């Protein structure tokens, strides 16, 4: 398996797109190092294929439908395990029916099978990540104002006794920040801390990973007594975060203010160095953020008005950003991903019902629409995993 793809899977940086119509037959994937599986999460009913599998070629930008999975309500965010044999997805319902879901992925045939589902005990889970050991799964629950930690059994199934960690507080925006809204949970590159972005209180909560983890015990993963926090600009609405490959810098997209925060990182400490606008029209709907594999460019999506991708160059010495350009996309680009070779950027345009494929200029970072796209219902999450 390609080591580069493995590393990107672990950091949550890899996701995908396609041009072919659905094929009814099962596709057996050939041994081709330029090809990967692409998993697409969406808003869907349990009767629809909420998660779809494609075969994606990162050299050509072409993709082919392989299969789909029914049975989950609104699998809007997902993440594969490092070996690609398990996939974990949220069920982003608003109330008690919200779930986390464990899925087996038969990579030989490209087929997904639901293993089990468990309630998150917090409404509207919108993000899910896997612990570095691969023994736990954590969700961020937007309406629940909480995160949920699940232990996994030997088969990768979710245990029945999760640890629910709830937050309190609010922010200055009377419409959007009346309560905590957890939107992202990510481990730091050194795997020693879990970051929980809270859109409702303008904070990043920093949990040390426990030094005494017990397999199968959900409350043993995090040292809750040593949690700290970083306070962002009032009314910013922190949403998603990504790290520079050098592990010294992180970049946070703020949904409400539409700004990107550049932060320094060192041993569990985050410090805001810069705020720079990604959304210049006041749409208050910024969505996702990723950095190119070479660490030279940062991209941030904006929705609701002037839907598109803001493009920034990175100062390699300081870690700060300079605005380079803006690429319009389809409607509501909630999520996007960059191929491991840095050749393509793929955008899930929820309300255009398509995934667009853009080529990346490696010198300028600017994007060009290739014209290749997947037509699929309400795509909102893209992830790659190797064969």
Residue-level pLDDT at 212: 94
**Mean pLDDT, to the nearest integer, of 334-344?**
97
What are the tens digits of pLDDT across the range 95-124?
999 999 999 999 999 999 999 999 999 999
Residue-level pLDDT at 214: 95
Residue-level pLDDT at 18: 35
C-alpha closest to that of 87 among 123, 51, 119, 49: 51
What are the tens digits of pLDDT across the range 245-300?
999 999 999 999 999 999 999 999 999 999 999 999 999 999 999 999 999 999 99
C-alpha closest to that of 15 among 350, 355, 336, 273: 336
Q: What percent of the chain has pLDDT over 90?
A: 91
Residue-level pLDDT at 33: 67
The answer to whether residue 19 scores a pLDDT higher than 50 is: no
The answer to whether residue 27 scores a pLDDT higher than 50 is: no
Beta strands in 211-320 (DSSP E): 228-231, 238-243, 249-254, 259-266, 269-277, 286-291, 297-302, 308-314
Write the CB contacts of 358 (distance below 8 Å, at least 6 apart in sequence): 309, 327, 344, 345, 346, 347, 367, 368, 369, 370
**Mean pLDDT, to the nearest integer, of 129-138?**
97
The answer to whether residue 28 scores a pLDDT higher than 60 is: no
**Mean pLDDT, to the nearest integer, of 43-51?**
98
Per-residue pLDDT band for 15 (boundaries 50, 70, 90) equals: very low
Integer Rg of the chain from CA:
19
Per-residue pLDDT band for 20 (boundaries 50, 70, 90) equals: very low
DSSP 321: E
Taken in order of first residue, the domains within the chain and their CATH numbers are: 3-385 (2.130.10.10)
The answer to whether residue 2 scores a pLDDT higher than 70 is: no
Mean predicted lDDT score pLDDT of the chain: 92
Lowest-confidence pick of 3-12, 97-106, 286-295, 305-314: 3-12
Structure tokens at 290: 């990723």
Residue-level pLDDT at 387: 83
**Mean pLDDT, to the nearest integer, of 320-344?**
98
C-alpha closest to that of 112 among 138, 80, 137: 80
The answer to whether residue 148 scores a pLDDT higher than 60 is: yes
Q: Is the pTM of this model over 0.75?
A: yes
Residue-level pLDDT at 11: 37
Q: Do the bridges between strand 354-360 and strand 367-375 make them parallel or antiparallel, or are there none, so unpaired?
A: antiparallel
The answer to whether residue 60 scores a pLDDT higher than 90 is: yes
The answer to whether residue 26 scores a pLDDT higher than 90 is: no
What are the tens digits of pLDDT across the range 63-76?
999 999 999 999 99
Q: What percent of the chain has pLDDT over 70?
A: 91
281 Rama sector, left if φ>0, alpha if ψ -120 to 50, beta otherwise: alpha
The answer to whether residue 242 scores a pLDDT higher than 60 is: yes
**Mean pLDDT, to the nearest integer, of 334-354?**
97
């Amino acid at each position: 398996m390609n080591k580069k793809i493995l590393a990107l899977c672990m950091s949550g940086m890899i996701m995908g797109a396609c041009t072919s119509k659905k094929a009814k037959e099962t596709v057996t994937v050939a041994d081709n190092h330029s090809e990967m599986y692409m998993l697409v999460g969406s808003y869907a009913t349990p009767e629809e294929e909420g998660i779809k599998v494609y075969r994606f070629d990162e050299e050509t930008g072409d993709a082919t439908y392989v299969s789909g999975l029914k049975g989950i309500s609104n699998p809007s965010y997902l993440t594969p395990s490092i070996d690609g044999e398990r996939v974990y997805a949220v069920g982003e319902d608003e109330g008690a029916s919200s779930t986390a879901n464990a899925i087996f992925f038969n990579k030989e045939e490209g087929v997904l099978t639901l293993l089990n589902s468990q309630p998150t005990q917090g409404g509207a889970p919108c993000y899910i990540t896997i612990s570095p050991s691969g023994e736990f799964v954590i969700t961020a629950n937007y309406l629940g104002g909480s995160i949920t930690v699940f232990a996994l059994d030997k088969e990768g199934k979710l245990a029945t006794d999760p640890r629910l960690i709830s937050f309190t507080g609010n922010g200055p925006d009377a419409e959007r920040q009346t309560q905590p809204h957890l939107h992202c949970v990510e481990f730091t590159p050194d795997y020693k801390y879990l970051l929980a972005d809270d859109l409702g209180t303008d904070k990043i909560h920093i949990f040390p990973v426990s030094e005494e983890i017990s397999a199968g015990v959900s409350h043993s993963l995090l040292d809750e007594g040593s949690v700290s926090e970083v306070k962002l600009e009032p009314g910013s609405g922190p949403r998603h975060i990504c790290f520079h490959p050098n592990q010294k810098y992180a970049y946070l997209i703020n949904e409400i203010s539409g700004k990107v925060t550049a932060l320094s990182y060192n041993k569990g400490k985050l410090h805001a160095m810069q705020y720079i606008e990604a959304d210049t029209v006041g749409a208050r709907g910024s969505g996702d953020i990723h950095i190119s594999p070479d660490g030279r460019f940062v991209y941030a999506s904006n929705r609701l008005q002037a839907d598109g991708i803001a493009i920034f160059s990175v100062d390699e010495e300081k870690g700060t950003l300079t605005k380079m350009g803006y690429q319009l996309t389809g409607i509501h680009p909630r999520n996007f991903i960059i191929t491991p070779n840095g050749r393509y950027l793929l955008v899930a345009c929820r309300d255009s019902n398509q995934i667009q494929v853009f080529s990346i200029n490696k010198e300028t970072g600017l994007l060009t629409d290739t014209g290749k796209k997947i037509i699929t219902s309400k795509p909102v999450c893209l992830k790659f995993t190797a064969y």
